[in-house]
Amino acid sequence: MRATRRGKTKPDARVRLGGWLAIPEPLVVEVAGRAGYDWVGLDLQHGAWDLGTAFRGIQLLDLLGVPILVRVSEEDLALIPRVLDQGASGIVVAMASSPEIVAAAIDRARYAPHGHRSYGGQRFGMRAEPADLAEVRPAIYAMLEDRRGVEAAREIAAVPGLAGLHIGPVDLGLGLSLGRDRAQPAFTAALEAILAAGHGERLPVVLHAVKPGEVGHWIQMGFDELVLTADIEVLRLGFQGQLATAREAIDHKERPVSAVIGPYGQARRQPRPARPKKR
């Protein structure tokens, strides 16, 4: 992001791609950290993370030099200082449907006199910090996911210190009473309203749960950052895809199963040839 005279951030020309992790496994974190994403998100709202595993995930990504965003529920704003102390680069606040929720989140991420975050150091002194702690300003993003968020998008985007707007498309569709049907004009109108609100304040707007084949469409619509398919979905689709490909090959070149191998992979015992009778 580029800073502007108003102190806001301006979206970069290059569309940034984020990774999204729900699985609290260091090996998965490392794979994602080395994959080349512009940043990696840890999902404390819906993922299987607890604080302990999240802290270790943050530590690993920090050592790899990858920016880390952590998503928390609007009901868990008290977690913000803790994950920031561990080294998170920023916070995504889910269901941030009002300017008041966003302002409260930013307050918890700023040291006095600009907020009420208690001082715990930057990774306990293992990360350099400025002499003026007012310059420590982790990014706080508002995730808009329902009708209230869409209607208040301009007021939310105008909250001082906000770093950008995120969109959870599934919850947004549910919140608009559209289900999972993203082809509805009302869904497109909601996305356009959020894009206009964010760009009006020179903020990046980020869409979640994007399949690789959809990237061109969402770039054309104007999104600045896209969060690609989450780790669990990548694994699920990968496993299913491998099995489908393998089974298709088997269907085209199948040999009689009963000849050597049983129906569940067990080797069949071949009958011994009959011994010649003694005369």
Q: Which of 46, 199, 208, 252 is catalytic?
A: 46
- Provide the β-strand partners of residue 94: none
DSSP string, the chain: -EE-TTS-EE--SSPEEEEEE----HHHHHHHHHHT-SEEEEETTTSS--HHHHHHHHHHHHHTT--EEEEE-TT-GGGHHHHHHTT-SEEEETT--SHHHHHHHHHHTSBTTS--BPP--STTTTS---SSGGG---EEEEEE-SHHHHHTHHHHHTSTT--EEEE-HHHHHHHTT-TT-TTSHHHHHHHHHHHHHHHHTT--EEEEEE-GGGHHHHHHHT-SEEEE--HHHHHHHHHHHHHHHHHHHHHHS---HHHHB-TTSPBPPPPPPPPPPP-
Active site residue 46: yes
End-to-end CA distance of the chain: 95
Active-site residue set: 46
